[in-house]
Structure formats: structure tokens, C-alpha cells
Structure 1
Amino acid sequence: MVCGGFTCSKNALCALNVVYMLVGLLLIGVAAWGKGFGIVSSLHIIGGVIAIGVFLLLIAIIGLIGAVSHHQVMLFIYMVVLILIFIFQLVVSCSCLAMNRSQQERFFDETWTSMSNRTRREMEMNVNCCGWLNTTDRREQFAEEFAFCNAECKKSKTPCETCGNKMLNHAGEALKILGGVGLFFSFTEVLGVWLAFRYRNQKDPRANPSAFL
């Protein structure tokens, strides 16, 4: 059978949905890695990526079931939701790639300032860092934070890295991966919609010839 046939469309749509499931799991995993530090949770954009990953995983399962059974309603729902995911994913992915270090620093600075001293000490212990950022306008604040820091790095000869640098580097890597992966695979969702529309209107050669399609 030629590639434009029913079986080829079915197999292509099934394969594409398996890829979507893997991409959804990848987005969830990388976003969870990006939230590994408690302070990173202040970036709502990462929460949006997790939501996209979950929805993409669920709609891929619906699309896979619809493709296997050639279910008209499920394929229609699949197309509509996939278009919405494409739009949302495109916006979030571009936001991830567009967010620069100064914007990230502003988000994190607000969160660090709102934390209690106890929470800061616990985070310093968990991440093995001291203080926020040792900049010119923060020298006195950093010196005070460093004095009360109980991280393991203070016991070694190696200078402690600031929590700000660790957080920003960690968030920067996560945002680049999320933005790149999300942007690349968002355009494949257009292919998914086209395949589903095409497959939905094809006749199953094994079905009753008088069945409505």
C-alpha cells in the first residue's frame, strides 16, 4: 500500500503520538530538574512547562487510542486540543528562550528576600552555598548572610559559591533546554493535526462499506 493509504496514515499518527509521549515526559523531567532547587519554583514559566508536558502526555494517549481504533470523536478532540497546546507551547517556549539573566535575577531576588532566615539556612545547607549574590551593593548583606551560613563548603578550603550563582546557572540551563525542546517539537504538532485530519477522513478498508466516515 502506498504511503498515502489508510495503514500508512495510521502508523504515522501512532508513531508521532509515541514521540509526543516521550517529549511530554522529557518536558516534565527537565522542568522537575529545573525545580530541584526550592527557589527555582518562583519561576512560574517552569510550572507552565510542566503543565504543557502533562497535557501533551495525556493528549498523546488520546491520539494513540483514537488512531488505533479510528475513533472519530477522539481524533476530533485530539486535533482541537493539540492546536491549543501548540499555541501555548510556542508562547511558553519563546518566553523561556527570551528570559535573560537579569530577569531571572529579579525573580529570584524577590523570592530570596521574602524567605525567612531559617528557610535560607536550610537552603544553603541543601544546595551547599552561602548568601545570595556578592555584588557591590550587597557586600554588607552578603557578609551578614555568610557569617550565619552553615553549609559544608565553609569547612573546606575551597571558597563557597554564592547561592545566587548556583540558582541562576541552574535555571539558565533548564530554561534553554525547555525552550529549545519545546520550540522544536511545537511545530511537529502542526503535522500531528494534519495527519489526524487526513486519517480521520480516510475510509478503513476493513470497515463496513456503508459505515459513515
Structure 2
Amino acid sequence: MVCGGFACSRNALCALNVVYVLVGVLLIGVAAWVKGVGIVSSLHIIGGVIIVGFFLLLIAIVGLIGAINHHQVMLFFYMITLGLVFICQFGVSCSCLALKKEKQESLLNIGWERLDDNVKKSVENNLNCCGLFNNTFEHAKKFKEDVKSCKAACTKFTCPSCGDVMMNHVGEALKILGGVGLFFSFTEILGVWLAMRYRNQKDPRANPSAFL
């Protein structure tokens, strides 16, 4: 049978969803491992990663079952959901790649303000820094307060601001996240196309006169 037939479409869709299942399990496993070893202590971050992994795992299982059974309703639900995920992920990935330095600093400030004191101390200890930014008059007062409560090892000398340390890596991290997200967004549109194509093909094992 030539590639492009019923069996080829089913196998390609199953293979794609097996990859999504593995990625979902990997996200959940990595989040649990990070929490276990104490690299990240924020339950919000860990919970967010686990939710994303669980959601991807759920969608992949729906797509896998729909592909194996040629289930029209499940394949339709899979197409719609994956299409919406593609739109959101494509937009976020493009935003990560196009984010300017001023906006990065603004987002870091917002994120830092929302962190509780324990998470801030964990960041300062891990990065060996104190406070966030000390580059404007508005930040100077808050920076002095953070430095007073800072317990990082660098307090014996002169501590760099955590904002400066993070900004050295944020640009590169955003490019990596944007690139990976963009790549996976195209695999999602491939999944939508495969599911749409597969739904409109007749199962050669079924009654040839039956409507799908």
C-alpha cells in the first residue's frame, strides 16, 4: 500500500501521539524530580509544568485512541483542541523570539514582585546574588531592602544584582524556548492535518458501502 493510504495515515498519527505521550510523561517526571531534589521550591511553577504535561498527555491519549479505532468524534475533538494549542503556542513562541530587553526587564520585575520571600532567598542562594535591579531610583529602595535580608554567600564581598545575572541568560533562554515552541507548534499543525485527512478516509476493513 502506498504511503498516504489509510494504514499510513493511521500509523503516522499514532507515531506522532506516542511522541506527545513521551513528552507529557517527561514533563511530569522532570517536574517531580526538580521538586524532589529542591532545585525549585515554588509549587506554582511545579504545578504549572505538571498541568501542561498532564494536558499534553491527555490530548495525546485521545488522539491515539481515536487513531487506533478510527473514532470520528474523538478525532474531531483532537483536531479542534490541537488547533487551539497550535494558535496559542505559535503566538507565545513568536513573542519569546521578538521580546526586547526593556520588556524582559519589566517582566522580571513583575515576576520578582509576585515571588514569596522563601523563593526569593532560594533564587539568591542558587545564583549567588542579591536583589533584582538597582538601575533606577524606583528600584533602589527595594534593592536595599532585599540586600539587607539576603543570605547569599556573596554578601561577604560585593553581590551582583539577580536581575543582571538573570538577564545574561534570559535572552538565550527565550531564543531556545521560542525555537523549541515553534518547532512543536508545526508538529501540532501536522497532527491536525493528519487527523483531518485520516477522518475522511474509509477503513478498508469496514463495509465499503458504509458512510464514515
**TM-score with structure 1 length normalisation?**
0.73
Contact 1:129 1:151 in 2 (8 A): yes
Larger deviation: 143-152 or 62-71? 143-152
1:56 maps to what in 2?
Answer: 56
- Which residue number corresponds to residue 178 of structure 1? 177
Mind listing any 5+ residue stretches in structure 1 that lack a counterpart?
A: 42-46
- Residue 133 of structure 1 corresponds to 133
1:89 and 2:75 matched: no
The structural deviation recorded for 1:64 is: 0.9
Measured in 2, the distance between the counterparts of 1:64 and 1:85 equals 17
Q: Percent identity?
A: 63
Q: Flag structure 2 segments of 5+ consecutive residues without an equivalent.
A: none
Distance 2:53 2:89 in 1: 9
Q: CA RMSD in A?
A: 3.7
CA distance in 1, matches of 2:96, 2:30: 13
Q: Secondary structure of the equivalent of 2:65?
A: helix
Matches within 5 A, 1:89-168: 89-112=89-112, 120-121=120-121, 123-135=123-135, 137=137, 142=143, 145-155=146-156, 159-168=158-167
Q: Verify the 8 A CA contact 1:62 1:74 in the aligned structure 2.
A: yes
Code of the residue aligned with 1:151 in structure 2: it is: A
CA distance in 1, matches of 2:114, 2:67: 49
Q: Partner of 1:203: helix, strand, or coil?
A: coil
Q: Residues 135 and 54 from structure 1, CA distance in 2 versus in 1: closer, same or farther, beyond 3 angstroms?
A: same
Q: CA deviation at 1:127?
A: 4.2
Q: Which moved more, 1:52-61 or 1:64-73?
A: 52-61
Distance 1:30 1:193, change over 3 A: same
- Report the equivalent of 1:10: 10
CA–CA distance in structure 1, aligned partners of residues 68 and 169 of structure 2: 41
Per-residue CA deviations over 1:96-130 (Å, capped at 9, x if unaligned) read 22222221211222444566777755643354321
Tell whether the 8 Å contact from 2:124 to 2:130 is kept in structure 1 after alignment: yes
What is the match of residue 189 of structure 2? 190
Cα gap change, 1:164/1:126 in structure 2, threshold over 3 Å: closer, same or farther? Answer: same
Secondary structure of the corresponding residue to residue 79 of structure 1: helix
Aligned partners of 1:161, 1:210: CA distance in 2, in Å?
A: 74
- Alpha-carbon offset, residue 95 of structure 1: 1.6
Q: For the residues of structure 2 that align with 1:104 and 1:96, how far apart are their CA atoms? A: 10
TM-score scaled by length of structure 2: 0.73
